[in-house]
Structure 1
Amino acid sequence: MTARTGTSTMHIGELAERTGLSLRTIRHYDDVGLLPATARTDGGFRVYSEDDFERLMVIKQMKPLGFSLEEMADILELFSQQDAGAAGGRQAKLAAYLEKAVAERAKMARNLAQADELIERLGGRS
């Protein structure tokens, strides 16, 4: 196995179990470049690190907020940037993504409140 040294690794099945995502979803994120496997075994099986797990959890958090694959890739890149020289542009982009996330969450909260009202109405009729 040719994984990064000093990190624990896992196969895709363990990653799927830990994240609650399907193997198909994880493979898709690999195929589109959002979550490339850290390494491959000699037999060609994907191997993931704890960093990959954390990256996938961020992807999982972005998904319900309606971010596109391109936006997800951009956000992940912004999170990984440590260059202080681009801090102004980085902060502005992160602020725009934050604004979108807050607006989407508010929309989800309104929808959830409407669902709660219906559930209450249905409960009152039985």
Structure 2
Amino acid sequence: MSDVFLTIGEMAKRSGLTAKMIRHYESLGLLPPAHRSDAGYRHYQEQDIRQLRFIRQARELGFSLPQIGELLSLWHDEQRSSSKVKQLALEHITILDQKIAELMQMKAGLEKLASQCHGDDNPDCPILDELSCCHSAATTE
């Protein structure tokens, strides 16, 4: 164990995360509990930066917090099978593909509405008409 301890502020700078997110990840168990000084301040170790960077990069790829927990477990398990890691990645790709399809559908719907709107000084607006129509239908069901 290293004798060099880092403050949460230093961890934030070096990991690219906010102190609030570091505390959040620690509360979720994604980061081991920090050592505490006699005054109660959190003190982290150098290896905690690697773990926080791992978490940040996994979040940037869109992995959920439970998925990140699984990935961290696999990362720390030197007896792991890379097939499990690949399986998690492929499952996540499927989820991303579904989200992309949903976003493309939303985009197409909005493009259609935007093409129907004249965008002039006239108060008539097919976009607002459609939004108000759908909202009313949803509340009456």
- Among 44, 60, 72, the alignment partner of 2:40 is 44
Higher RCO structure, 1 or 2 (CA under 8 Å, sep 6+): 1
- Preserved contact between residue 38 and residue 48 of structure 1 (Cα < 8 Å): yes
**Which residue identity lines up with residue 66 of structure 1 in the other structure?**
G
Contiguous gaps of at least 5 residues in structure 1 = 108-126
Contiguous gaps of at least 5 residues in structure 2 = 101-141
**Which residue identity lines up with residue 33 of structure 2 in the other structure?**
A
- Among 84, 93, 112, the alignment partner of 1:93 is 84
CA deviations 1:1-22 (Å, max 9, x no partner) are xxxx335220100001112211
Q: Within the alignment, does 1:57 sit opposite 2:50 as a pair? A: no
- Preserved contact between residue 12 and residue 22 of structure 2 (Cα < 8 Å): yes
- Preserved contact between residue 65 and residue 101 of structure 1 (Cα < 8 Å): no
Please, what TM-score do these two structures have when normalized by structure 2?
Answer: 0.60
Query: Per the alignment, in what secondary structure is the counterpart of residue 33 of structure 2?
Result: coil
Any residues of structure 2 matched to 1:19-38 within 5 Å, and which? 19-38=15-34
* Aligned-residue CA RMSD (Å): 2.3
**After the TM superposition, which segments of 4 or more aligned residues of structure 1 sit over 3 Å from their partners?**
100-104
Larger C-alpha radius of gyration, 1 or 2? 2
Q: Specify which structure has the higher proportion of strand.
A: 1
- Among 14, 18, 21, the alignment partner of 1:18 is 14
Query: Per the alignment, in what secondary structure is the counterpart of residue 66 of structure 1?
Result: coil
